[in-house]
A and B are shown apart, each in its own frame.
Chain A
């Protein structure tokens, strides 16, 4: 068996130092080693997007990354979205618009949406659909997810306008 690798990694703002097997997937590291089971694993081959997390601010598939690659990285998972002030605006929009059913794809959808909202104005629903097309959902038909992301985008826009005034 290969020797374990020592990594320092920050997850949801908390610093960890762990010895990991070189082949340990980031998804398994988060779920098994850290007990952060909000990150779900749907396919283990990078298609479904359920395991999406933010790695240094960018969305990435945790099933396609090895924990050993991520020494020094900052990770954000679904558990890190809400603050003491309550739900993240995207989480709230998902609740308001019934954008989740079984909830299995939801953590990946939320993280992807957060990343999209940060990087794109999401002017049209087509842009939202395009942006979410790397995340599979089997329950909602995407309709209400698109509506929720639209609502979150609008809310963030008015928030930004207000803060600019």
Chain B
């Protein structure tokens, strides 16, 4: 086993440190509490919910990329037996449009409605909703709907769409450029003028789907007697959806609840508001019956938010010793047809320029970005958000520079990295890194992989004619960000706080409620560990409530690698407070000084004696056995605490990929993949390893296979899993994980947040490994994914060029 060092449970010392406990449960490989139901087939994903009188929705979606809706004829569908209702935008005039607003200048919000009104702007956009007794019947009825479209000029190429003369998708915006921003530090032009070495390229990272295994599903139940609406949603952000639906439907939050039960993966694709959520909620209220929509995979690929899709013209300039002098980049991000709620169209493309300088000291920086609307599903947050592209560009430039300078790529990186004694360090885009383990991660990855032995092996492999490459990528990400930084610039929603509500009830049972929402990452286990640690309880006794907008007054959900940091921090604060209350109650009941009490394993003990009270006994004394505690000393065993890490923290990693390319099939075989990562203090190393494995697998998909392809007419050519290819067990190698556990100095508990990183580093490392393997041909990788076909063309062109230029010389 190579994934990390064994985690030793820290033995407790004597009485002295029993209150100021060193972590024991935090850091342990606790097996997951979620597993029992999921392994038995007893999970409750939204589609599993059994409700009597349930109606089913099917959507007639646009098959035009950009067109005016002239007329919709639903009469035949309405008359079909089994059909309960048919809705178009006209029927939804009472529903308010939602806008992802932002204070950022040069930004244009776009109206989000459940069904297209007047115009359609991408293939797959919902136009008509049919509600029927079964899904089969609802889908049958779709065929009876006639929509007359008046096609408009196609807006599909982001560079064309950015031109002033382009056809507009949103006339009221006056431009397709929905956002624009520029970061500047120093004087790039002067630095370039002095540079000894310059490397540049036009980089392209293609469009990607998050592709969670569970398709999006929404089920709304309306209680007419109480005027209460509950939406069960496969969402990462039940709190955000609750607030948005409250605005769309004019329902107060007290009568509107959004629940995310078991959610089958998210990866960002379930972190935004969707038209179908509005429709289902609206329809349940209108019809007074429960209503459900379950996406099929084609709809998922055609309408779920997508990721990446940036064109980056970038240049890195260095001095003769390999010190980076400047970096400049011009980015065009294809943000799709609408500015997504709540993140806005800014989220992906601006992150690219925010993170381009990465972990390096680059004194002069200029990053310019434009987010351009085209006829595709909206761009939304996807695992890594912008940073996979920044890492791809910067890390490729580093390798290109190393080659030009004749330096080893590891040595060049170490030379330019922010050194351990140089923190905090402000990079050219304005991001400040706290104590990040940049050099430590790179060293650890090289050590784990035995880098020098790998290079020796490469020399032998090359001599034998093998295409064998080694690629490295280093990156840093902001995680667990607090209230002083917006997840997307100018966004009016606070994503920087998290509330925990912990209560011990009169039976002694512990319930801890949060606003976060697990989509598979095991928060029920990790948060129970944090609560148990700081409360002195047992993990198995703690019930975690999450994924429910009603659990705490203000909630958003899980995204941006925030849950461990923010919910972990809130859990720590609230658990400590409840523990203090337990100690005060026990002190009175046991007639012992609080200093002599230890709280552990669900009981409070007078240290050095066998006198103890269990939480259950304490709870009975506090709540039920009147008179045991004087009323002026009686405190409810509850605490609600909010945590705000203010600026947040950062996580970092170095990835190392070893590849060999098959010269006959152009298949890239990943022989080894090493990750050395620092996510601060680990809550559960088993779960962290799992997050790294899964993130890297998605990064491998992004590097080699996954691409949403639109043709010139704006038709999605990859709307099935036969065409949109994700890695299977045979494409993903065994992944070696090394943990550099550097406590974050800026967060409670030292957690740094993780979960996205695997997808940030892997594409860049693999791109570098492929370029390294093909360096004898002088091939650089500028475009991801590197499908076998792209690789074939690159090699074919390079060898043809070489033949031609050789012939040229001879002539």
Contacts and interface: CB of A to CB of B under 8 A. Distances in A.
Interface string B673-697: 0000000000000110110111111
- Specify the main secondary structure of chain B where it touches its partner: loop
Interface residues of A, number: 57
B732 to A, nearest CB: 5
A100 interface: yes
B267 A138 contact: yes
Contacts of A102: 212-214, 262-265, 519-520
Nearest to B731: A133
B690 A144 contact: yes
Most buried by B among A37, A40, A138: A138
Contacts of B265: 101-102, 104, 138-139
A50 B41 CA distance: 12
A145 interface: yes
Contact of A130 (B211, B520, B687, B730): B730
- Specify the main secondary structure of chain A where it touches its partner: loop
B93 interface: no
A38 B41 CA distance: 4
A144 B520 contact: no
Contact of A144 (B38, B136, B521, B693): B693
B730 A133 contact: yes
Given A45-B721, A106-B39, A98 B697 contact: no
B40 A95 contact: no
Interface residues of B, number: 55
Contacts of B463: none
Given A142-B732, A144-B693, A146-B729, A98 B48 contact: no
Interface stretch (B27-35, B94-102, B397-405, B613-621): B27-35
A140 B690 contact: yes
Given A38-B40, A94-B39, A143-B734, A136 B728 contact: yes
Contact of B213 (A23, A38, A48, A142): A48
A12 B212 CA distance: 29
B605 interface: no
Given A36-B41, A42-B297, A141-B732, A103 B34 contact: yes
B213 A105 contact: yes
A143 B43 contact: no
B40 A82 contact: yes
Interface in B206-227: 211-215
Contacts of A145: 729
A87 to B, nearest CB: 7
Contacts of A40: 45, 213-214, 264
A136 B687 contact: no
B210 to A, nearest CB: 9
Interface string A62-99: 00000000000000011101100001000100111010
Interface string B511-542: 00000000111100000000000000000000
Interface string B46-65: 01101000000000000000
Interface in B191-218: 211-215
B726 interface: yes
B48 to A, nearest CB: 4
Nearest to B296: A44
B310 interface: no
Contact of A129 (B39, B720, B730): B730
A141 B697 contact: yes
B45 A48 contact: no
21 contacts: A37-B48, A38-B41, A39-B41, A42-B215, A44-B297, A79-B40, A94-B39, A95-B35, A101-B265, A102-B264, A103-B38, A103-B520, A104-B264, A105-B264, A106-B38, A132-B729, A137-B213, A138-B697, A141-B692, A142-B732, A146-B734
Interface of A: 21, 23-24, 31, 35-45, 47-48, 50, 77-79, 81-82, 87, 91, 94-96, 98, 100-107, 110, 125, 128-130, 132-146
Interface of B: 31-32, 34-36, 38-45, 47-48, 50, 136, 211-215, 262-265, 267, 296-297, 519-522, 686-687, 689-690, 692-698, 720-722, 726, 728-730, 732, 734-735, 758
